Structures are given as C-alpha cells and as structure tokens.
Amino acid sequence: MTEISPVPAGMQWSALSGRTVRAALREGDLAFGFLAPMIFFLCFYVPLRKSMEQAGADYAQYLLPVIVLQSMFFTAMSAGDRAARDTFSGMGTRLRSMPVRPWIPLAARMSANLVRALAGLAGALVIGIAFGFRFHGGAAALVFAALSLAFGVALVIGADALGAATGTPEIGASALLAPQLLLIMMSTGFVPADGFPGWIQPFVRNQPVSEAAAALRDLAGGDYTSAVAIALAWILGLIVAFTAIAVLVERRRP
C-alpha cells in the first residue's frame, strides 16, 4: 500500500492564507481597510486644520501618523472577528484533526492580516499625500512603513488571541472598540498633550499610541530620534506579551 505524503507546509500556509484573503475581498473588508483611513483623515483634518495651522503646525504632516495607527487598530478588530468566526464555525477544530502543522493556521491568519494592514497603510498614505503629507528621506520612509506594520502586528496578535479565546464574533471585534477609542482619542495624535487637562497629560504623552505617533512624525521628517526607540520598545513589549497570551490560548483549546 502506497503511503500518501503529507502536504508541504508552504502549500498548507498558502491555501489557508488565500482562503482568508479571498474572504476579505469578497466581504469588502480590504476595500473598507483602504477607504476607512481616508474617511477618518477628512473627519479630523477639515475641522481641526485651521486652528492647528494657526499655531504653526502642518496639520497633514501632524495628523497622518495617528490615522495610520488607527488603521492598524481596525485591522486588529478585523483579525479578532475572523479568529472568532473560525472558532465558532469549528474551522480550528477541523484543522487540528487534520495533518496540518499547529503553527500554520495562526501564520496564515497573520499573513492575511498583513495584507489588510498594507491596505490600511496605503489608504492612509494616499489621502495624506493628497493633502500635503511628505516624506523627507527614502530610508526613513521605509522605516516609517515597517514601524507602522510592526505596531499592527502587535495589535493583531492580541486581537487574534482574543477572538480565538471567545469564539464569539460579536465579542471578537467589539471588545477592542473601547481600548481603541481610549488610546486613539487620548493621545497626541490629533492635538498636542497641552491641549488636554493637566491631570491626564502624563498618560496622554506616554501611552503607546502617542509614542508611536511621535516616532512616525519624526521618521516622516527624516529624523531618527529617541521617540523611535521608545515606540519600538512598546511594540516589542506588546508582541511578547500578546504572543504569550496567544500560546496560552492555543494550549487550552480542545
């Protein structure tokens, strides 16, 4: 009797990644990922531009980094929803009963989520450049993109673990709504920290969204400052913490 050889890991990863990307295209998630940053950019740029530019700021240059970060939060919400749906539908259980390497489903979801994050980054850059946002250094622009995507990866790992743990699509995405609003709105992404009440300014200055937004602004200007190192430390810390949670969730799944 001839033994059937197992499917190579690369083919398993490609098939599962393609399944998720095709679903995102079919459901309009990639289109939303591209268009949402444009909508939110306009929602904040139009009412706040005049007051910020009267204070001497180029508001398109100031605003775009937080729009990029917000698109990464939207990617994470999508990731949480998709992981929850896979758990709810029993897809994860079926894959564990098949000769599929344990790390491949998560790797496939991460790959598909990276495509979603790239769509969000592209949408943000298109609208930002249309309103005057510019990079002042080619290498720094690449680091800008890499740091943005790394921030997205950190969020996606946590959201994916949450969605897989709950197995409830309604919770998978909505549980991230409040943290996203808190961190985005109470950050220096839209206005400087001195625009907030004094008692909350320390939090506003030092939370991860503010640190990442400051780093992206400096990179857009072609500068490698301490803000970049601080943002990278935040991102690495979040990746380590969320990866540990994801491993724990995976081990506890039946």
Rounded to 10 degrees, the C-alpha dihedral 62/64/68/70 comes to: 70
pLDDT tier, 79 (very low <50, low <70, confident <90, very high otherwise): confident
Per-residue model confidence as pLDDT tens digits over 25-57: 888 888 999 999 999 999 999 998 888 887 777
Q: How is residue 55 annotated by DSSP?
A: T
The pLDDT of residue 4: 41
Average pLDDT of span 85-101? 62
pTM exceeding the 0.75 threshold for the entire prediction: yes
pLDDT tier, 5 (very low <50, low <70, confident <90, very high otherwise): very low
**Residue of 190, 192, 238, 179 whose CA lies nearest to 65:** 190
pLDDT greater at residue 89 or residue 112: 112
Per-residue model confidence as pLDDT tens digits over 180-216: 889 999 999 999 999 899 999 999 999 999 999 999 9
The answer to whether residue 237 scores a pLDDT higher than 60 is: yes
Share of the chain above pLDDT 70, in %: 84
The answer to whether residue 10 scores a pLDDT higher than 60 is: yes
Tell me the C-alpha distance between 169 and 116, whole Å.
18
The answer to whether residue 233 scores a pLDDT higher than 90 is: yes
Type of residue numbered 195: G
Average pLDDT of span 69-92? 81
Tell me the C-alpha distance between 137 and 220, whole Å.
7
Per-residue model confidence as pLDDT tens digits over 96-114: 555 556 667 777 788 888 9
The pLDDT of residue 68: 97
The answer to whether residue 2 scores a pLDDT higher than 90 is: no
